Amino acid sequence: MGNKRRSLAGAAVAAGLVAGGLAAPGIAAADSGVVPLAAAPSCVGWSEYRHGNPITGYYTNVYVDNNCSYTVRVKVIMDYGSDSGCMTIQSHVIDVKFRSTGFGDLYPELDRIDLC
């Protein structure tokens, strides 16, 4: 079981777009296939916990933290596992859980978190 904790580096332009009102507050999930604007800003953090075995399968729980002073809409992009849909996270909310199921005998790994 692995555990990672870090903040993602983001573009200042993307943070300005979200703060400027492109985020749609009050929507918990959105359509799949949304094109990302950019990487999530550095005030969005995450932790990753791997679980499973060859018999029951592999999965990873990703917990997203919004330490920003504004609401963000993010999508969790995984390697070797299922991606999330767009999630709206209010400012200063932590531990929003997303579970990614692995493909075959591989643990899903977080690739990145994008704005959506």
Tell me phi and psi for residue 89, to 5 degrees: -125, 120
pTM assigned to the model: 0.67
Rounded CA-CA distance 57/44 in Å is: 29
Asked whether the beta carbons of 54 and 66 are under 8 A apart, the reply is no
Asked whether the beta carbons of 79 and 101 are under 8 A apart, the reply is no
Output the DSSP codes for 16-74: HHIIIIIS-TT-SB--TTPPP-SBPPTTEEEEEEEEEETTTEEEEEEEEEE-SSS-EEE
| Each residue's pLDDT tens digit, 53-63 | 888 889 999 99
Instruction: Give the domain extent around 12.
Output: 3-115
Rounded CA-CA distance 105/52 in Å is: 10
Q: What is the pLDDT of residue 114?
A: 96
pLDDT tier at 34, thresholds 50, 70, 90: low
Give the number of domains in the chain: 1
What value does the mean pLDDT of the chain take? 78
Cα angle: 61, vertex 62, 63; to 5 degrees:
120
